[in-house]
Amino acid sequence: MTTTATPTTTGADWVKCAGCARPLYRRRLVRDLEVCHECGHHQRLSARDRIGQLTDPGSFEEFTLPPVPHDPLGFTDTAPYPQRLERARRATGEQEGTIVGTARVEGEPLVLLVMDFRFLGGSMGSATGEAVATAADEAVRRRLPLVLVTASGGARMQEGALSLMQMAKTSQALALVAEAGLLSVGVLTDPTFGGVTASFASLGQVLVAESGAAVGFAGKRVIQQTVPQELPKGFQQAEYLLAHGLVDRVESRERLRPLLGRLLRLHAGGPGRGARATGTVPAPRLPVPAAPAPDAWDVVRAARHPERPTTLDYLDLAFDDFVELHGDRAHGDDPAIVAGIASLAGRSVVVVGHQKGHDTRELVARNFGMPHPEGYRKALRLFEHAERSGLPVVTLVDTPGAYPGVAAEERGQSIAIAEAIARSSRLRVPVVSVVTGEGGSGGALALATGDRMLMLENAFFSVISPEGCAAILWRDAQEAAQAARALRVTAPDLVRLGVADGVVAEPAGGAHTDPEATAALVGRAVTEALDELCALDADELLRLRSARLRGMGAGRGSL
């Protein structure tokens, strides 16, 4: 059955905003997608209204869901459970609080599940669990992405432990979607709480919260009654979640549909690995330049030039349609690491890079490109997303090193770096790294472990900063230039040592003199490397990567 959902209207010309209590002209509110033009408050929507706003007209085809027991416990509180169900059905016109079907968003097909808070507060009982499992099954069977729009107060208490077990049932369903290499997107709307948040709502590979949505596990009243605490400003609001690394993005209602369209297009077609072949990878096409090697200290100074292109500059100039994703899903969003999905020469890729800045304000905001543990855990999350989605990884390396502060140590800086290195060493998708500026120690290596390491002509890669080496071994930081030469940090030296695989030329005078030309050279070099690597199957890719890393320092290269 094909249905087209349209916004619900009432006979009243004016309605009161649930946010600011101002009177709003009903027709304008509908035109504005039920968002108050006075205060920006997003009014709650029915599931049918939500479907109508998100999907292409006439594209939604609803599934008939399997029946489930209506009253497994014979539960009665102030009213028998069957009575409550019947009242909800009359009030909403729906048989249950979850609608599932196939649809298109900006022409891209998907399986869509939408919850309706009007139906017993969107509570999750057996019917909702069956709806989520059915949606996941159909996504896997049809090889389609899955989008889940949530609105729930939590578990349906009238179904007791059976309601609790829907958390396990739906979590498994999302795990199966991930194992199948399919994109899943959770759209968290107001409100999303309890068992829904602690299961399928939080398991989408990409989590998007609608602006102003309240999202959490325990509600504010429960927290204040159980653990008397003063709640911070904005607690459990969408923007608070973004700042704490718990969602990838916060979007206004009008931007949700375009964002979903971009995500679906970037993940369309599944693994984009190109024609498969057997054998070894051809030698890198970027030989060591024949010109005399530059002085190492000159290279270090050029790599640190404040106008040198950053990761965001390369994403703007060399890549297409970058969708940034945020947060480590545990603590915060580190601005020193930029990560997301992009397109390069028609191929979708996951991009992760260090981000510095061009002026003092941006450098401070980005912590001078020195990541905290949550930055590396964000990178790790994107590495795993790439593997599940069959997308190659491109990393852009430019950091003095990992942040060495007390807070970083307390949050496990060493563990975060080690896990990022270990995981990227075993990803079953190609990994190409480009050192674009500074390659400082383990903080750089966390994003530079893979199949190819390319270096810009005026980039360097070192076990320690030249100043640090000079202070320790020469006992004088002023000997940094001598230390840089002794460490052999330049791209040509590192190619000869077998650490790097190729040198990307820069315009005369350095990358900062012509960022557009530099970005074009980087894009071309990465594309060539991916063309070679994407021709290999995953087992061969891992074998060659393992051999590459196993040979480091064992005679692979010498000066």
* pLDDT surpasses 80 at 446: yes
Supply the pLDDT for residue 553: 80
* Residue 457 or residue 550, greater confidence: 457
- Distance CA(327)–CA(325), nearest Å, equals 7
Supply the pLDDT for residue 220: 84
Length of the chain: 559
Span 205-242, pLDDT tens digits: 999 999 999 999 988 888 888 887 888 999 999 999 99
Supply the pLDDT for residue 518: 96
- Distance CA(88)–CA(128), nearest Å, equals 15
Among residues of the chain, what percentage have pLDDT more than 70? 92
pLDDT band at 4; cut points 50, 70, 90? very low
Supply the pLDDT for residue 225: 81
- DSSP 8-state symbol, 127: H
Q: List, in order, residues 6 or more apart from 33 with CB less than 8 Å away.
A: 53, 253, 254
Supply the pLDDT for residue 513: 95
* pLDDT surpasses 80 at 556: no
Q: What is the pTM of this model?
A: 0.89
Span 99-140, pLDDT tens digits: 999 999 999 999 999 999 999 999 999 999 999 999 999 999
Q: List, in order, residues 6 or more apart from 76 with CB less than 8 Å away.
A: none
Q: Which long-range contacts (CB under 8 A, 24 or more apart) does 82-86 make?
A: 84/120, 84/158, 85/120
Residue 316, SS3 per DSSP: helix
- Distance CA(79)–CA(158), nearest Å, equals 11
- Distance CA(368)–CA(344), nearest Å, equals 27
Supply the pLDDT for residue 2: 38
Span 476-534, pLDDT tens digits: 888 999 999 999 999 999 999 999 999 999 999 999 999 999 999 999 999 999 999 99
Cα–Cα nearest to 48, from 81, 95, 85, 82: 95
Supply the pLDDT for residue 554: 66
Question: How far are the Cα atoms of 8, 290, 425, 494 from residue 497, in angstroms, in the given order?
Answer: 68, 16, 20, 5
Supply the pLDDT for residue 551: 86
Question: How far are the Cα atoms of 156, 166, 200, 217 from residue 193, in angstroms, in the given order?
Answer: 12, 14, 11, 5
Mean pLDDT for the chain overall: 91
* pLDDT surpasses 60 at 9: no
36-40, 358-362, 518-522: least confidently modelled range: 36-40
Supply the pLDDT for residue 227: 82
Span 397-412, pLDDT tens digits: 999 999 999 999 999 9
Mean pLDDT, residues 166-195 taken together: 95
Mean pLDDT, residues 527-556 taken together: 90
* pLDDT surpasses 90 at 290: no
pLDDT band at 283; cut points 50, 70, 90? very low
Helices (H), 93-183: 126-142, 160-179
- Distance CA(403)–CA(375), nearest Å, equals 10
Which phi and psi angles does 25 have, rounded to 5°?
Answer: -70, 125
Supply the pLDDT for residue 255: 96
Helices (H), 209-353: 220-226, 238-243, 253-266, 296-303, 311-317
Mean pLDDT, residues 338-347 taken together: 96
Which phi and psi angles does 444 have, rounded to 5°?
Answer: -85, -40
Q: Which long-range contacts (CB under 8 A, 24 or more apart) does 12-20 make?
A: 17/41, 17/43, 18/43, 18/44, 19/212
Mean pLDDT, residues 388-401 taken together: 96
Pairing state of beta strands 60-62 and 146-152? unpaired
Domains of the chain: 44-266 (3.90.226.10), 296-345+359-550 (3.90.226.10)
State both tokens at 232: 């911070």
β strands within 484-546, DSSP E: 502-504
Residue-wise burial string across 361-381, b where 16 or more C-beta atoms lie within 10 A, e elsewhere:
ebeeebbbbbbbbbbbbbbbb
Q: Residues 47, 116: contact at Cβ < 8 Å?
A: yes
Question: How far are the Cα atoms of 122, 338, 340, 362 from residue 323, in angstroms, in the given order?
Answer: 30, 10, 5, 21
Using alpha carbons only, give the angle 96, 31, 206 rounded to the nearest 5 degrees.
55
Supply the pLDDT for residue 229: 80
- Distance CA(548)–CA(516), nearest Å, equals 32
* pLDDT surpasses 70 at 280: no
